[in-house]
Amino acid sequence: MFLEKIVRDYVSKTPEELREMLLMEKRDKDGKLTGITVNLKQFSDLAAALEKVHWMTYQALCDAPQDRVKKPQPAAERERSSTDLHAQIAASLAQMRAIDQQSQLADAQALQAKVESPVNR
């Protein structure tokens, strides 16, 4: 979350702010300005940190490449494509949405029945 916040901060900056942030003044030992350079170390460090988080996530899920090789997979799973997986996710989300809409409709009908009840008049 910390790294994501940093990335969002970079994305929200204007080109002028980014330029100012990346340019670095070079000075000699007397403090006299000798030139200006571009410093991209912060992006390099951020990329390395994101790569480590990604790798740690793989390891935590036991899904690193060396773990995948060790796991036997049924033939059906090996033949599945990512499109099939996305289709299953979309179908599940649609089903959840339909259930949610049905429960909202039932709640609205119950409220309407309560309002129109002769007891409430």
- Tokens coding 12: 């929200």
Report the C-alpha gap between 110 and 103 in whole angstroms: 10
- Tokens coding 49: 């940190």
Matching residue, tokens 């033949």: 79
> What is the average pLDDT across 44-48?
92
Domain boundaries, the chain: 1-71, 74-121
Sign for the CA dihedral angle at 56, 58, 62, 68 comes to: negative
Model confidence at 14, pLDDT cuts 50, 70, 90, reads: very high
pTM above 0.75, yes or no: no
Matching residue, tokens 């980014």: 18
CB 34 within 8 A of CB 28: yes
Indicate whether 80 pLDDT > 70: no
- Tokens coding 56: 């740690």
